[in-house]
Structure 1
Amino acid sequence: MKSRRRLWSLFAALGLAASAHAAGPVLVIHAGAGAPRKDMPPAREKAIRAALTQALLAGYTELKAGKPAIDGVTAALVVLEDDPLFNAGRGSVFTHAGTLEMDAAIMDGYTLRAGSVAAIDHVRNPILAARAVMEHSSHVMLVGAGAEAFARSQGLAMESDAWFRTEERWQQLQRALKEDAAKQPHGDEATAKHFGTVGAVALDVDGHLAAGTSTGGMNDKLPGRVGDSPIIGAGTYANSDCAVSGTGWGEFYMRTVAAHAICMRVTQLRMPIARAAAEVINQEIPAMGGNGGAIALDERGHIAIPFNTDGMFRGWIDGSGKPHVAIFGDEDDGTGEPLPAPAPDDAASGR
């Protein structure tokens, strides 16, 4: 097992690159980094794999129908936000004051249009609020009460506090508060402050890219704290060559402008996306003391899924139409099949 873990660490350091069929759309999702096997009961693991698959199929249905990448991203993230297993929408973590403050962002790589919301509550699907900001306002980011009022004006579904609250998240906050009072480090990753986000990147049949990210933020965070997920360029970014969604310790993703840094390596340096993503996620961020992961996708359908934690909830589906999901660091995907090899023209093209 140790040798397998070392081998997987090598794969992760190289960015876990994959290739998609050029003729078909591509969708990649994540639902948070961390995921130690010891903290994963079999029933929960099964439920998470099923939820990831459902999200993949929802997004891929849009893409396969010829809809733009932004629609595939949105559809996948709505499924994940509605599932209380994940720290986004329903199931979001609590602030230190016991309140909910959710963040989300979405970006269309073809037009460079973007929208985001931060520190909102009551909006059932924050990713829809972010998209509404992009499509129906002259702004990129709205926060707090103003963002919620805008979401209401757009007719988005709203929910009470009770709908978002789960007992699991409440107990995570209680453990964190006790550890804070005792000045103790958090005892497990479920209680740790910086894990948990959902994200998606997509390539449509026209070759256009999009990215989106949604999160409840950090467990036990100070009210008003905003992380990297809704910050365009930090946790979410897309252009004509590259799309990225991150998950991890957001303060470090903001300080490295992680998503943008990955895409600039691809766009300006013509670096393969696997190397670009690995340099930022597995080198720059850990060197500063942070950790986490990301999903990245280039305009030819190459996928990178670097992470430096025990695992990351993740999934992908390409032109073959078959969903793949994985959780732990020592597996390639949920079916036991190997990842596709990089495209054979990588060496010749420099990509």
Structure 2
Amino acid sequence: MLRRFLPAACAALLSTSAAFAGEPGEWALVIHGGAGVIERGAMTPETEAAYRAAMNAALERGEAVLDEGGSSLDAVVAVIHGLEDDPLFNSGRGAVFTAAGRNELDASIMDGATLNAGAVAGVTQVRHPISLARAVMENSRHVMLQGEGAETFAREQDLEIVEPAWFFTERRWASLERALNRLGLPIPPRPEGAPEPEPVDHGALERDSREHRFGTVGVVALDRDGNIAAGTSTGGTTAKRWGRVGDSPIIGAGTYANNESCGVSATGTGEYFIRLTVASRICALVELQGLSLQDAADRVIQDELTALEGDGGIVALTAAGDIAWSFNTPGMYRARQSEGGEPVVSIYGDED
């Protein structure tokens, strides 16, 4: 499947990259909601409108923090909280299921001013994994916690704990059943506490099977003090096995922030992003080789990632307010806004 759409993505290089300049001392914000085979005509007008509204709402949450002089870290958390609660996205409520029928959630956050970072992997009962990642960064001597230990820490930090069924959506469960049938694997029991089965739009399932082989939400924010923060949150991949962890909680692969270069949040097939250390690699090209943010993003995504036959994309931001995104898939849910400017929400590869 990957080989079928990568050549088209490469041919559309100019439509899958975009650079935007900001003004020093002003805030800026760039968000993604996952990349994949997102094509015109594959979504109903109502579904497309729902995604655009959700991305606009995410911008509004970030703007509300930054316009009041709030920190980039606070903006990142505010934006991702809403996305983690929105079943449209593969993060928090609405996350995909593992082959065992569980929602296992990963998240990370990084402060570009200090290079402090926090991450969690495989959590199942924390409503907002991005808040747990921040707590790891600020209230522990570690960078990454996983599984049961991460959830013990979450309780000690008085973070909101929910039953696993909180994350359940019928759409994702049906996608799991479909994936397991293709793989010849047994379908696990329906999770305890899940609602009674409901009809599912099979057209939406077909779109999910192409679009959401992977999926992530992420944001990079710049505050008026010139500090960058980046955060990423995900449910991983449908029918993942053996405790698989992707790039989203790995600092330098799925998330990176440094005031001296840039901040990046990634979405895609995590195994490739890990191998390339995509997020930190883009920032290193900016800082050490003097590339523009857009040129650095395109070199890593359009050239290096594509050469490995990896798929996905990134959003990025510098302390000067320059914004970029780049992806080698037909689409990526994405949005940007700079202080005093109009919000921009895009989905398809032929949009700004």
Could you say whether these structures have the same fold, taking a TM-score greater than 0.5 normalized by the shorter chain as the test? yes
- Deviations along 1:282-304, one digit per CA (max 9) or x if unpaired, are 11111111110000111111111
Output the CA distance in 2 between the equivalents of 1:20 and 1:61.
Answer: 18
Aligned counterparts of 1:300 and 1:314: Cα–Cα separation in 2 = 20
Q: Does 1:110 find its partner at 2:99?
A: no
In structure 2, what is the equivalent of residue 230 of structure 1?
249
Report how far residue 38 of structure 1 moved: 3.3
Unaligned runs of 5+ in 2: 1-7, 186-204
Pair 1:197-2:216 in alignment: yes
Look up the SS of the partner of 1:285 in the other structure.
helix
Instruction: Give the 3-state SS of the residue equivalent to 1:227 in structure 2.
Output: coil
Residue 26 of structure 1 corresponds to which residue in structure 2? 28
Offset, 1:191: 2.1
Uncovered stretches (5+) of structure 1, i.e. residues with no partner: 333-351
Q: What residue in structure 2 maps to residue 336 of structure 1?
A: none
Secondary structure of the residue aligned to 1:190 is helix
The aligned amino acid for 1:144 is G
Cα distance in 2 for residues equivalent to 1:53 and 1:135: 29
What are the residue-to-residue correspondences of 1:1-351 with 2, within 5 Å?
A: 9-12=12-15, 15-34=17-36, 35-181=38-184, 188=206, 190-191=208-209, 194-240=213-259, 241-332=261-352
Residues of 1 paired with 2:31 and 2:63: CA distance? Answer: 11
Share of identical aligned residues, percent?
51
The separation in 2 between residues aligned to 1:288 and 1:328, in whole angstroms, is: 23
The structural deviation recorded for 1:53 is 0.8
**Mapped contact 2:10–2:302 kept (Cα < 8 A):** no
Equivalent-residue separation in structure 2 for 1:329 and 1:122 (angstroms): 35
Q: Distance in 2 between matches of 1:152 and 1:12?
A: 45
Aligned-partner SS, 1:38: coil
Query: Which letter maps to 1:224?
Result: G
Query: Is residue 295–residue 304 contact of structure 1 (8 Å, CA) maintained in 2?
Result: yes
- Normalising by structure 2, we get a TM-score of 0.88
Structure 1 stretches of at least 4 aligned residues deviating more than 6 Å after TM superposition: 5-8
Q: CA deviation at 1:328?
A: 0.9
What CA distance in whole angstroms lies between the structure 2 residues aligned with 1:6 and 1:219?
A: 23
Structure 1 residue 322 displacement after superposition: 2.6
Which SS does the other structure have where 1:105 is aligned? strand
SS at 2:137's partner residue?
Answer: helix
Give the TM-score, by structure 1 length. 0.88
Tell me by how many angstroms 1:329 deviates: 1.0
1:345 corresponds in structure 2 to none
- Paired residues, number: 323
* 8 Å Cα contact 1:281-1:308 kept in structure 2: yes
C-alpha distance after superposition, 1:93-138 (max 9, x if no partner): 0001111110000000000000000011110010000000001101
